[in-house]
Structure 1
């Protein structure tokens, strides 16, 4: 049977595959939400930098938790005295919610109007004023732009503000995502600490991982080289286990069950070119077996493209 034609290989394709495998080996996989904490932490830092364009107040923000929410958890995450911003994020598979606590809105409003000591106040059920809602909208725009700097592709804005309203006007029953992620941040001025929550559809997880992978492939093309450098350093310091193994030959289950200690199994000569490096059961590189002095060695020859290998197995059976 003729061998199936393979698509042309590009350097980008190679780096994408490697970056995805290395991210997974380093713990930045889509199976571990907490691995994205430092990415959202950079978004929080970016938010404070953007707010500095409107006020001299030294706000700080940091990630407190990232967790998966069930539908029944949505009401608790929205709170009782908050502003809810609904943003369209088609690339992330649905709407994103920013939940701004009343004390956060108070602090930012004070800061925007020149207060040297913005802080919380006892609202006693007072509704949000038009000025506070306008400030909440500006804050939402700053947060959306900060996240776009981290997760966007640079061509268009990732988020588009649809509406901003007090939580009492938000219809949680009409907003239905089977499962969501919640990134809860602390937002503070000196000793006054408030909460900021970002609710994201579960479908956003893959685009976030792809954004990190793109950064690893072309860090010099990002608009924030400092962020790219910090993330690359974070990944490069991760310690992962590497294993070299041979992939050659097969036997029946009967023969396998009859193996005994001391038995010698012959290996074909081509085995020297059938060595792989893997981490966490994920093959990374093709290698050849050799020796350096008295020690065995492996020479790295190419990266492992699992899609191509699967096609070869299907063709050659």
Structure 2
């Protein structure tokens, strides 16, 4: 792996290794899911042509995680490869569990799709590793994309590792998106896990989450871009309860110590507001030693205006 070209890149690499270069989880998952779903029909078609047998591919999981977690759920026997790109030595990590390898080998060599495949409980053979490499190649090609959205992977993929080599392979820690595909026949199934570092995913694909079809930013796109930051901002909530309608003469006659009677339904018409904007109509109450308000329904400004026109 080459050294960063500048001190700023060196600092960025050190920070990424310490804490992981990550983005907002919702945005990362959204971009990852979009990429995974677009690749699904291409992958299904490519594997059908390669195997000549019916194998179903389905998208099971898209979530955030860490790169070393790629093999955490693969069991003792699995196939692994790491694909690089010009900007990253670990642009994509692919892991196929033993069940998926057995399904693909059975399909490739004409096994009966209605019969369960024999489980693999040992290190993979050379033929099994070659089959895994073929599947990894189709997966990487489908996810790589093209044009501005391309991950720019260096293909073909390296030969799949298995056994001690795969278990001892050091995977550089970092925040990633975890994509899990299911590979199945009518009688058996397995999983294939893809880990893509978030630093690479966000730099190559984040634009599709904030621009329209013609490259123009829309109102929805800006909302998606800033929503996470806005939702983390804090506001002060205030609950108020209506008293009574009085004349200015009655108000001027108030004296210290005077008790003001609440309206009959005042307790049921508390208003919850933030920054001088009424949000909800609430019911005032008490729970133990604490006073509470229970939300009844959202505030209807239009109805409130109409009610204000009615004589008191």
Q: TM-score w.r.t. structure 2 length? A: 0.52
Query: Residue 131 of structure 1 corresponds to which residue in structure 2?
Result: 127
Question: Aligned with 2:143: secondary structure?
Answer: helix
Question: Aligned with 2:131: secondary structure?
Answer: helix
Number of aligned residue pairs: 198
Query: How far off is 1:197 after superposition?
Result: 0.4
| Partner Cα distance (1:90, 1:100) in 2 | 25
- Alignment CA distance shift 1:214-1:102 (3 Å): farther
1:189 aligned to which of 185, 190, 197: 185
Q: Does the 8 A contact of 1:105 with 1:132 survive in 2?
A: yes
- Alignment CA distance shift 1:171-1:212 (3 Å): same
Q: TM-score w.r.t. structure 1 length? A: 0.51
Query: How far off is 1:84 after superposition?
Result: 0.7
Query: Residue 216 of structure 1 corresponds to which residue in structure 2?
Result: 213
Q: Does the 8 A contact of 1:88 with 1:96 survive in 2?
A: yes
Question: Aligned with 1:161: secondary structure?
Answer: coil
Q: Does the 8 A contact of 1:111 with 1:118 survive in 2?
A: no
Q: Does the 8 A contact of 2:183 with 2:192 survive in 1?
A: yes
Say whether residues 1:102 and 2:98 are aligned partners. yes
Higher Cα radius of gyration: 2
State the superposition RMSD in angstroms. 3.8
2:82 aligned to which of 79, 86, 89: 86
Query: How far off is 1:160 after superposition?
Result: 4.6
| Partner Cα distance (2:114, 2:88) in 1 | 35
1:32 aligned to which of 27, 32, 35: 27
Query: Residue 267 of structure 2 corresponds to which residue in structure 1?
Result: none
Q: Does the 8 A contact of 2:99 with 2:120 survive in 1?
A: no
| Partner Cα distance (1:56, 1:124) in 2 | 22
Query: Residue 244 of structure 2 corresponds to which residue in structure 1?
Result: none
| Partner Cα distance (2:148, 2:76) in 1 | 31
Gapped regions of structure 1 (runs ≥ 5): 1-28, 219-235, 243-317
| Partner Cα distance (2:70, 2:43) in 1 | 24
